Amino acid sequence: MEDKINKARESLAHQLDLPRDVVLNIPKISVTGNNEITIENHKGIVLFDEKEIKVNSNVGLISISGEKFEILFLGGSTITISGKFRAILYEGTL
């Protein structure tokens, strides 16, 4: 049933030329070089330390590895992180 609803939302987003990330509530990840990442539509921080960050989303955990991480902005469902990034991995659902 949920699959049909998501397909209908995706079709509606396409027909009305709306952003898919907003209509489907999926994360939007913007990477600037290897030192800044912004994640929109997240559902919370699961793990944060200097070398690894795990953020929950509707598509599952998003794991970011690297070093010297800092949170530059955290508000609503948006987070901006700085540091030296090595990898972004989708781990799946909790």
Find out whether 91 and 61 touch, Cβ atoms under 8 Å: yes
Question: Which structure tokens are listed for 57?
Answer: 């989303």
- 54 pLDDT more than 80: yes
- 2 pLDDT more than 70: no
- 14 pLDDT more than 70: no
Q: What's the pLDDT score for residue 13?
A: 60
- pLDDT mean across residues, the chain: 86
- Delineate the domains of the chain, giving CATH numbers in brackets: 26-92 (2.60.40.2000)
Q: What's the pLDDT score for residue 68?
A: 95
Find out whether 46 and 56 touch, Cβ atoms under 8 Å: yes
Name residue 88's beta-bridge partners: 64
Confidence of residue 59 (pLDDT cuts 50, 70, 90): confident
Q: What's the pLDDT score for residue 23?
A: 57
- The strand order across the sheet containing 45-48 reads 28-32, 36-40, 78-92, 60-75, 52-57, 45-48
Question: Which structure tokens are listed for 26?
Answer: 């999926």
Mean pLDDT of 36-65: 94
Q: What's the pLDDT score for residue 1?
A: 65
